[in-house]
Structure 1
Amino acid sequence: MGVNLNKIVLAIDIGGTFTKLGLVDPKGQIIASRIFKTGANEPFEIFKELFHTEIFRLISNINSENIVSAIGIGAPNANYKTGTMENPPNFNWGQTIPLKKVVQEMLNYPVYMTNDANAAALGALRFGVGKGMQNIVVLTLGTGLGSGIINEGKLIYGQYGMAGELGHVNVFPEGRQCNCGLKGCLETYVSVTGMKRTVFELLSNSNSASILRSYSFKDLTGKDISEAAHQKDGIALEAFKRTAKILGGKMADTVAHLEPEAFILTGGLSQAGDLFLKPLKNYMESALFNAYKGKVKVLLSKSTRTEAVLGPAALAWENILTKDNP
């Protein structure tokens, strides 16, 4: 059964810094979009008011021939089964946020919600570099490390809706403190925040000159580290090397569990390109069981920040198509 091309979905991607909204058609075309600061450190009620305003500004762009069929939401620690954000790190919104219910009260459309990294995995599968694949792992390398796992064409949710949190597998027992409450989590080493911590550890243990010495921890960004590495800055290059080694080893472990066709990297850290990708592939290959060597791709997502809405859009379209073709 064909899809009505006049149908669109409202896609919502909530990040720790920005929230992105988009109206998306079945082909992944973004008809209209808006972006605003999330205010994760402010109370949820403040976000809720701004959210309401921005959503209604966006849907004012809908033409009479377009039909909104559903809403898709990607958010940190969002549970597909309960419709809540559960203990999201880096947010000051409380332990359980009924986000799906809030959106349903604003707009009378079916609402589908999942973890932001799960949504990114669906977006890569339907609209991105994972199109045509059946087994992929998407890693979102931003403020934290998120992951979404597609197995045999289906997203893995797990028994309680929170499967696939590779960012919280243990790297070093009693290692760096994580915002989740555990120590030694992968995301404390492999994320923009984790790399910043690595950079400052390297700076404190070395007297070598570095472009990065002029930055405070708060002001340093992943882009700054990437630009320094492109200028052959020794501290930046070593930070990328250490980060690639840790992630490559954990990717090899994941291959042993899942044997994906590809890992797809997205987010700030992935923007370093080959500076990160080449050592990452080498470290992963060196840690792989022989049966897997040379078989698993490591790809970079080509999505822009605005196109982050394609993940939750894919979630909405997947549910629409499942209902149309049970």
Structure 2
Amino acid sequence: MKDVILGIDIGGTNTKFGFLDRDGISLVQGELSTNEGETVHDFLRVLYQEVMTKFKKIEDEANLIGVGVGAPNGNYYTGTIENAPNLKWHGSVPLVDLLKQYFKMPVFLTNDANAAAIGEMVYGGAKNMNNFVVITLGTGLGSGIVVNGQLVYGHDGNAGEIGHTLVNVNGRGRMCGCGRKGCLETYVSATGIKRTVYKLLADSTDYSELRSVSFNDLTAEMITQAAKRGDKIAIDAFEYTGKVLGMKLADTVAHLSPEAIFLFGGLVRAEEFLFDPVRYHMEKNLLHIFKGKVKILPSGLGLNNTAVMGAAALAWNEMERGATA
């Protein structure tokens, strides 16, 4: 019987989970809506039921020894989710304590993007890197920063909020769920590119297959597929998204001088429509001492369970160094 970790990725829209062994192999996985129920207690009750239903499929071969969780605004130090703008649970949510009521074992929590960075370091493209950044492009924009081989948490556990650095400083930027205007994630995320598409549609008369799609029905995947079919509005939306992200990543390079910046999330499926403008505009805006030194790469973990692998890697790392959270 092999030991496994339950990795949980709580996203703004969906929550994914899986049981992974030390090599990052998933024995079984599942998914549910993060909006299940009215409260976090309702959500965790449903989550536990789903998890245990899946675990029954492997209980004869697996020994569950711990839980790792990646979540928006998840604080590694306190075990709480703190005022996550993309979740409907407001205030400070003591997630680790709540999960321990269900799982009588060590539970570890960090920011979802930090979890992705740990996964990239343990299982992915950053195995031999000591300085890199992971950017998660989902409902919002998260970031995990590794410096000298160590994840950067900051003095209070909240370091790495590149998605809430400002793009627009004149007060007329897009409204963000955090309550401020002009945050990067309002331009560069699945939600951000939807807003860009509608701005482009309003400002032009160009044909686009996206004109007949309501804002609520529009998805980043639709925009990606439209771009691949040659839709000008979709292509322009990715060009604008890549320009904004590339410019801000040039700032990130000035702060951190990473070897590479990894992108993952649904928008990565757009491939060159996203990566080409990001690379171009980052390089264009880099300080000359950094030019030609920083790689922009897709996650080395694939697109389906990157964050789940990262959450599991967090727990594996913590337990192997003797932590008992």
Range class of TM-score, shorter chain: over 0.9
1:122 alignment counterpart: 118
1:140 alignment counterpart: 136
1:298 alignment counterpart: 296
For residues 2-41 of structure 1, the aligned pairs below 5 Å read: 6-39=2-35
2:186 alignment counterpart: 188
How far apart, CA to CA, are the structure 2 residues paired with 1:13 and 1:83?
A: 15
TM-score (norm 1): 0.94
1:93-147 deviation line (CA, Å, top 9, x unaligned): 2211111011111111111100111101111111112221111100001111010
Equivalent pair of 1:40/1:91 in contact (CA under 8 Å) = no
Q: 1:99 and 2:95 equivalent?
A: yes
How far apart, CA to CA, are the structure 2 residues paired with 1:90 and 1:151?
A: 27
User: Residue 214 of structure 1: CA displacement?
Assistant: 1.0
Equivalent pair of 2:11/2:139 in contact (CA under 8 Å) = no
| Higher alpha-carbon deviation: 239-248 or 55-64 | 55-64
User: Residue 176 of structure 1: CA displacement?
Assistant: 0.6
Equivalent pair of 2:74/2:110 in contact (CA under 8 Å) = yes
User: Residue 307 of structure 1: CA displacement?
Assistant: 4.3
User: Residue 31 of structure 1: CA displacement?
Assistant: 1.1
1:153 alignment counterpart: 149
User: Residue 323 of structure 1: CA displacement?
Assistant: 2.1
Counterpart amino acid of residue 221 in structure 2? K
1:219 alignment counterpart: 217
2:48 alignment counterpart: 52
- Of 63, 68, 73 in structure 2, the residue corresponding to residue 67 of structure 1 is 63
SS at structure 1 position matched to 2:321: helix
Q: 1:321 and 2:320 equivalent?
A: yes
Counterpart amino acid of residue 35 in structure 1? E
| Higher alpha-carbon deviation: 66-75 or 175-184 | 66-75
Instruction: Specify every segment of 5 or more residues in structure 1 that has no aligned partner in the other structure, as ranges.
Output: none
User: Residue 12 of structure 1: CA displacement?
Assistant: 1.0
1:26-49 deviation line (CA, Å, top 9, x unaligned): 110001212111216832232122
2:127 alignment counterpart: 131
2:197 alignment counterpart: 199
Percent of matched pairs sharing the same residue: 47
Equivalent pair of 1:176/1:184 in contact (CA under 8 Å) = yes
Equivalent pair of 1:79/1:86 in contact (CA under 8 Å) = yes
How far apart, CA to CA, are the structure 2 residues paired with 1:21 and 1:269?
A: 21
Equivalent pair of 1:41/1:90 in contact (CA under 8 Å) = no
- Number of residue pairs aligned between Structure 1 and Structure 2: 320
For residues 190-269 of structure 1, the aligned pairs below 5 Å read: 190-269=188-267
User: Residue 63 of structure 1: CA displacement?
Assistant: 3.9
SS at structure 1 position matched to 2:322: helix
How far apart, CA to CA, are the structure 1 residues paired with 2:234 and 2:51?
A: 40
Distance 1:195 1:297, change over 3 A: same
User: Residue 62 of structure 1: CA displacement?
Assistant: 4.0
Q: 1:177 and 2:175 equivalent?
A: yes
Query: How large is the Cα RMSD of the aligned pairs?
Result: 1.6
User: Residue 255 of structure 1: CA displacement?
Assistant: 0.4
SS at structure 2 position matched to 1:285: helix
1:177-229 deviation line (CA, Å, top 9, x unaligned): 10000110000001111111111111111111111111111111111111111
| Higher alpha-carbon deviation: 230-239 or 74-83 | 230-239
How far apart, CA to CA, are the structure 2 residues paired with 1:42 and 1:236?
A: 35
SS at structure 1 position matched to 2:30: strand
Counterpart amino acid of residue 34 in structure 2? T
1:42 alignment counterpart: 38
User: Residue 64 of structure 1: CA displacement?
Assistant: 4.7
Distance 1:271 1:135, change over 3 A: same
SS at structure 2 position matched to 1:208: coil
